[in-house]
Structure 1
Amino acid sequence: MSAPSVSPVTGRSDEPIIVDDDDDAPVVLPSASHALAPSPSLSLREVTPAMSVATASTSSGIHRLNGLDSRDVGDQNGTSDSALSLDRYRTGYVYSSEMMLHVNPIDPDHPERPLRVFKIFLKLKEKNVLSHMKRIPIREVTEDEVKLVHDRGIWEGVQRLDAYHPDVLKEQVLMLETTSSLYINEHTPYVARLSCGGAIELVDAVASGRIQNGFAIVRPPGHHAEPHKSMGFCFFNNVAVATREVTRRHDHINKVLILDWDVHHGNGTQRAFEDDPNVLYISLHRYDEDGSFYPGSTYGNFDSTGTGAGEGKSVNVPWPVQGMGDADYMYAFHHLVMPIAHEFEPDLVIISAGFDAADGDPIGLNRVSPGGFAQMTLELTSLCKGKVAVVLEGGYNPDAVANSAAAVTDVLLGMPAAEPRDTIASTIAAHTVNRVRRHHRKWWKSLRVPQIEADDVGAQLAPRAVDVAHLLAAYRTHEIAAAYDLLEVPLHSTPHKQFQGHVLCSEEIFTKFSTIVFFVHDMGNWRSERSTSSNDEQQAALQLLDASRSIIDYARERGYGLVDVNIMREFATERPRPPIGIKQTSRANESAQLEAAKAAAFIWDNIVTLAGKHVVMVGLGSGCSALTAVMDERAAESHVKAIVNVVGYNDMPSVSLQSTADRKKWYYKKSMVLAPADHRHLIERGDAAPLKRFGKITPIHDTEAINIFSERIDDIKSFIDKKLAPLRRPTVA
């Protein structure tokens, strides 16, 4: 059993929350303004030795946020930094409408256009998540900060643009696009400084612990900007400069992981840390067979691994074709990215979040869904206690960018992660990832593999795949059932045959017991937790098995009957895709949750209510929702004496909003709900208390349901004993 992972949330005590039915109030965001830079008429031929574009600072030591002096700016609620706690704002963001001033003067529809960031902001505002995020004041980057990564010529080149008339700058655009894939206008210097400064401030807020994680919604992007050259829509390398600056400021930030999922190789970022052993750069990008995909060199191939002390710290996954999707990226994460990342043990994670690998992007032509980006983010939050900074890079379908960014933000906020569209990786992905693994195993122990792997074996000799659900069912019906004298409930002739082998009950359940423990859990459902390394999946499954035994032991010790239901969440090979233009409204995994609830109701009707006068309900993980659905749809009040729900990051279980006030009060009185202190429901309620229909919630400073369950098992037993005590008192004759 692993030690519990402690949540960074510190503002709550582990006490039940008082009930209140008030709603949250909306939050108004400040407006933006920016004065234009002076534009004298001069020539542009001597911009910089590397033709990299740079900018002069127009501020005099006072950074501006949306036209305001940053010394007077708090968050969007008007609250100063000192008044904010990580408890209320675990997630932050950086944004300024002034970053929309950078526009291609001869092609307003250029792929790197202002609509990219504006659509993200509108999407987050539409989802009403910005009111639950701390707005980090944005500022311009300084010369000294830029020179931590770039030559002085880069800074001076962008600086000089402030001196030229807009018409002169416009004349240079075609030349710059041809030579460096850049465009400029009179606002480019200021916006480039703002984008880089905003990235620094967001990353610093995470590194310093002011927030747990956050999203820098900034442009222009940065990962193509090399130490000696600006290129590929990028002027300053935002992530590289931010990395150098926060490691300079904070002694406790020694090792940084930069994960770059932009569809293009981040050549600039890799060059910035080529020989640095303390920065691990991992990039998943289109390379194509000959390395012709932008930036168009062999530098992004699998054998480009860093130099000197940094050898092995540059890891490139070069997709050889377009069309790579969720399962391909997740295969790379499970078999390469996360094993290396856990072995590296970073103090901070920065995501270079380009969304041009998204389905629908006109340049990337890959097929990653919002759920794919969400799952990758979820994996990365398992590192360094969740200290993750997301910095926007590319992405040229504004709607796809907005939807993908919103899915990533949901994960940062602790909301359920959107599901991937598909879960079976292509042969091309497996071959590419395994090729990288073999090349890097000399530097990473976690990649040491046998000489022959499954994909090395011919198709006719390859071993047959085994369904994990069947393995767990067999384990339960043989190992668990035999150890505790339990019987398998036959379901093969019912509408719930997919749960065959996953429902066990005590022998003589209908005649021997007056009290029944109805335990519904998601043993083996690895996706129900914040993900750990792929190497730990088997260990996590065993931990769930061991945790379920504690309830079985308890029921046996007290002489109670047991009905044990295991839920295996199933993932379709490929999620049906709606027609173009039709919004998919069904929630991720809704069908599986509905099937689980129906199965639990079937067991309730045919076994639980017929077997005992008194019932104790215990839910773990996604089993909580199934239990609560049964309680909501059946007349449970006469049978149920105690309800325990141990929630991970699933939706907070509740009786329906339409339930009577008496039922809500009954549930609150009978319930113990244990949930992570940074659960989305608790964060959304803020200082207001959760509603009665969600039960009596105790926030726990841990991040995984399995750890909460294991650590609080004695409290759970005591709670049940207390609720059942009146039933054991002798009656007076």
Structure 2
Amino acid sequence: MARIHPPIPEVREPRLSGDTSMRETVTPDMSAEIDHRLKIETTDEEDSEDSLLSDTSSDADDTVPKAPPGLPIAQLPTGLCYDDRMRYHAEIAATTGDNVHPEDPRRIYYIYKELCEAGLVDDETYPPMVEVPLKRIDAREATREECLLVHTPEHYDFVQSTAEMSDAQLIDLSEDPAMDSIYFNTLSFFSSKLSAGAAIETCRAVVSRQVKNAIAVIRPPGHHAEVDRTMGFCLFNNVSIASKVCQNDFGEGCRKILIVDWDVHHGNGCQKAFYDNPNVLYISLHVHMNGLFYPSGTEGDMHHCGAGAGLGKNVNIPWPTKGMGDGDYMYAFQHVVMPIATEFDPDFVIVASGFDAAAGDELGGCFVSPPCYAHMTHMLKSLAGGKIAVCLEGGYNFRAISRSALAVTRTLMGEPPDRLHATAATTSAVDTVNKVRNVQSRYWKSIYPKDPVGGIFGGERLHDIIRQWQATHLYDKYKLTQLHIYRDNVSKSFDQQVLATPNYESKKYLLIIFHDSPDLLGVGDGMTTQQKPHDTWLVDGAQSYIRWAVSHGFGVIDVNIPELITISDPNNPEYNDAEVEYASTATDIARKEGEKLAAYLWENYVEPYDFRGGTFLMGAGHAFHAVAKLVSENENVYPNLLGIIGFIATNPIRPIANPGSHWVSQWYRDNSLVFVSQVHSLWKKDGHPSKRYGKLVRSNGEVLNQMMKIHEHEVFDWIKQQIRENATDDTTEDDEDAEGSKDSDGDTIDDPVAPEQQQQQQHPAPSQGSGSGNDSSNSNSRDGPRGAGFAMSSTGSGTGGDVLMTTER
């Protein structure tokens, strides 16, 4: 069908109006005088030079090549490689519904159809709607020699052998666990060679400037295929083979290649293929979950940076969880990918473009939008003179991969990306990217901050210094002293980490606080990892709760859970005298130590004593795990509790349940207050959480210690309410007998905040949070004996009950 172009308007000289009064005005002719004033005398040699050069130009400008006239690259078409025959690789047994393998042959068909319907392809069924449609690149089978540039002969022969197997043999082979998520039919060998050959021809077309850039809609994918094995839906490593072929065919014109892999899974095959190669920079953004996410293991962590001559040429950005979105990927691109890629200065860029991080892909579980893929493509186009080839890898939601591939293709063709709506990175993404920068800063000049010259020499861990200061500070203010751990099977990391108020066992009420280490907030110079002490602040959210509890006559046990736990297990060489992160998602061996500590403290420092009023447990951050496990696994704990308080920022929410006693979960729901940050993934899910997670309250805070500060008054009111509701006649009589008298048990302390507390109690501050304020106000208005149990301890002159506000003389 012929396209009709709109007529080009004729350019005419402007016609003057009939009013010529201005033109008839006599005006002096100054042209000759002006020409004389502007006359600059020059030599013939100077006249021959470019008159547009400024007098500030220097010889350095000669190093910049002169740009060719016109737009020679922009006018080239974008390439497209697609071949229906790659769909021949399919499962032997015809399946429908939920049994269909996610690496479905229809994946590439739906992408091609989306491009056609958008009018970008010159197809018989879908005529193009753009002036320069995608230029088709013919696919071909990769040769044995080309495949052997990456794979071993044994690997090639194995894949080839599947073409001669019977259906029964192929089914048995596909079900072999050693194959690791692979299926075969008699045409798998052909389709996989065609996929690799298509990647080769796509890359060759871009490097040779037949097209300005290109997208290869190919399958089966390849980035998991290792040198000597198939795995993860991949038979031959398409991108790696294409890279090797281009380096061989184009020499210095394609010596340095950048591979950016934004598939949601780590491209272990690509990493291994070039791990010691200084001319191939591999950058992967993937969900890692400390090695629990496919392909599992440690190879995808940020500390695998290459080896030998290739050291520094492997960059992993391992997301700690699923659920990452546009802001996270853009932050990683702006702070890691593009600075390193620009410094590397590649001759050619290949994108291992899996779309399984796209929103809607259940296998990936992330939320990357088509505009985000377009923006990442747009940034990569600025490299290598625009020589970029996008090769399909994963992506298993037909609609998500089609829309994402269309956005990338439109950007390749020159269309600007659509606007992004979610641009803020999550806390976990910022933390991950900063850690990657710290690791990579030793290999790249453009990445900061850098370690101090000479590294870390001498000194002590600041964590230990802080806890020693805390112990001194808490003793000076509240007389807290160490509780010793007399058990060899509990990690020595907890030495000096458990403190208690004097004679806590004689108090009516007990508050046990398990919390993460305090935050250090500071502003460095941005160039090194050194911190300025003057601009660094220690923030400890637990201290206000200790102060409040002591001023209200509670006994307090304060348990600080270090970030790293030393594991001593002679029977396990991997974890013998090893430091393991308490929050690790790769292993729970460190949290097991926290569980043992909690059980030990309960059995030896809590259970033997009678706290007549009751006990409260508080868990803040990752330390909440120990609280949850203690209550879940020891059914003697919860009957002695008045309630549980929790603060969850971004760490997983731990349920409390006991299979042998279904009442535990119901009790927990009725007697808990768990604040969960508004940025937690919990609030993105539909439906109501199970009662096993307690009474959840959405917090406006995002950082743990910030949340503890925001909600402290809610917690204080809730504790008072729990005491009133659980008050017995005995505890009421104890309070009445104690009214007007002062205890002298030798542990009274000088509490500098007592007057302030009394003033706050007489004039209560408004609640600063949401979720439990209404309950607290309703309970305060109740009359009767249930409300009398704590009334004397929370109001009045401070001389009744167990409130100790006098000064020891």
Query: TM-score if structure 2 supplies the norm length?
Result: 0.46
Q: Does 1:181 align with 2:168?
A: no
Equivalent-residue separation in structure 1 for 2:342 and 2:281 (angstroms):
11
Equivalent-residue separation in structure 1 for 2:349 and 2:73 (angstroms):
18
What residue number does 1:257 align with? 258
What residue number does 1:127 align with? 118
Matches within 5 A, 1:599-614: none
- Shift in alpha-carbon separation, 1:147–1:450, aligned structure 2, 3 A: closer
Aligned residue type for 2:146: E
What residue number does 2:409 align with? 409
Q: Secondary structure at the match of 1:160?
A: helix
Q: Does 1:117 align with 2:119?
A: no
Residue 459 of structure 1: CA displacement? Answer: 8.8
Q: Secondary structure at the match of 2:357?
A: coil
Equivalent-residue separation in structure 1 for 2:312 and 2:173 (angstroms):
40
Tell me if structure 2 keeps the 8 A contact 1:103–1:184: yes
1:362-389 deviations in whole A, cap 9, x for unaligned?
Answer: 1110110001111111110010111100
Residue 225 of structure 1: CA displacement? Answer: 0.5
Q: Secondary structure at the match of 1:281?
A: strand
Q: Secondary structure at the match of 2:376?
A: helix
What residue number does 1:93 align with? 80
Match of 1:102 among 89, 94, 103: 89
Residue 168 of structure 1: CA displacement? Answer: 3.0
1:390-417 deviations in whole A, cap 9, x for unaligned?
Answer: 0000001111000100000010000121
Equivalent-residue separation in structure 1 for 2:120 and 2:83 (angstroms):
17
What residue number does 1:619 align with? none
* Runs of at least 5 residues in structure 1 that lack an aligned partner in the other structure: 1-18, 24-84, 464-572, 574-578, 581-733
Tell me if structure 1 keeps the 8 A contact 2:179–2:230: no
- Shift in alpha-carbon separation, 1:409–1:160, aligned structure 2, 3 A: same
Tell me if structure 1 keeps the 8 A contact 2:162–2:189: yes
1:125-169 deviations in whole A, cap 9, x for unaligned?
Answer: 000111311100110000000000000011111111121233432
What residue number does 2:421 align with? 421
Aligned residue type for 2:342: H
Residue 460 of structure 1: CA displacement? Answer: 7.2
Tell me if structure 2 keeps the 8 A contact 1:91–1:211: yes
Residue 325 of structure 1: CA displacement? Answer: 0.3
What residue number does 2:437 align with? 437
Equivalent-residue separation in structure 1 for 2:86 and 2:137 (angstroms):
15
What residue number does 1:21 align with? 6
Aligned residue type for 1:111: P
What residue number does 1:668 align with? none
Q: Does 1:350 align with 2:350?
A: yes
- Shift in alpha-carbon separation, 1:451–1:274, aligned structure 2, 3 A: closer
Equivalent-residue separation in structure 1 for 2:198 and 2:393 (angstroms):
13
Equivalent-residue separation in structure 2 for 1:115 and 1:123 (angstroms):
12
Provide the alpha-carbon RMSD of the alignment: 2.6
1:617-641 deviations in whole A, cap 9, x for unaligned?
Answer: xxxxxxxxxxxxxxxxxxxxxxxxx
What residue number does 2:150 align with? 149
Aligned residue type for 1:117: I
Residue 448 of structure 1: CA displacement? Answer: 2.7
Tell me if structure 2 keeps the 8 A contact 1:371–1:421: no
Q: Taking CA–CA contacts closer than 8 Å with sequence separation of 6 or more, which of the two structures ends up with the larger relative contact order?
A: 1
* Runs of at least 5 residues in structure 2 that lack an aligned partner in the other structure: 9-71, 123-132, 453-517, 525-678, 680-684, 687-809
Tell me if structure 1 keeps the 8 A contact 2:173–2:179: no
What residue number does 1:494 align with? none
Equivalent-residue separation in structure 1 for 2:223 and 2:420 (angstroms):
26
Matches within 5 A, 1:382-401: 382-401=382-401
Q: Secondary structure at the match of 1:92?
A: strand
Tell me if structure 1 keeps the 8 A contact 2:152–2:228: yes
Residue 458 of structure 1: CA displacement? Answer: 6.1
Q: Secondary structure at the match of 1:220?
A: coil
Equivalent-residue separation in structure 1 for 2:272 and 2:322 (angstroms):
25
What residue number does 1:644 align with? none
Q: Does 1:269 align with 2:260?
A: no
- Shift in alpha-carbon separation, 1:411–1:204, aligned structure 2, 3 A: same
1:279-306 deviations in whole A, cap 9, x for unaligned?
Answer: 00000000003x1100011000000011
Aligned residue type for 1:21: P
Aligned residue type for 1:138: A
Residue 420 of structure 1: CA displacement? Answer: 2.4
Matches within 5 A, 1:332-731: 332-449=332-449
Tell me if structure 2 keeps the 8 A contact 1:203–1:389: yes
What residue number does 2:204 align with? 204
What residue number does 1:159 align with? 160
Equivalent-residue separation in structure 1 for 2:175 and 2:399 (angstroms):
28
- Identity score, percent: 44
Equivalent-residue separation in structure 2 for 1:188 and 1:88 (angstroms):
38
Query: TM-score if structure 1 supplies the norm length?
Result: 0.50
Aligned residue type for 2:110: K
Aligned residue type for 2:275: E
1:240-286 deviations in whole A, cap 9, x for unaligned?
Answer: 00000001000211100000000000000000001000000000000
**Structure of larger gyration radius:** 2
Equivalent-residue separation in structure 2 for 1:384 and 1:420 (angstroms):
25
Equivalent-residue separation in structure 2 for 1:117 and 1:22 (angstroms):
39
- Shift in alpha-carbon separation, 1:160–1:323, aligned structure 2, 3 A: same
Count how many residue pairs are aligned between Structure 1 and Structure 2.
383
- Shift in alpha-carbon separation, 1:273–1:461, aligned structure 2, 3 A: closer
Q: Secondary structure at the match of 1:439?
A: helix
Aligned residue type for 2:136: R
Residue 104 of structure 1: CA displacement? Answer: 1.6
Aligned residue type for 2:254: I
Residue 178 of structure 1: CA displacement? Answer: 5.7
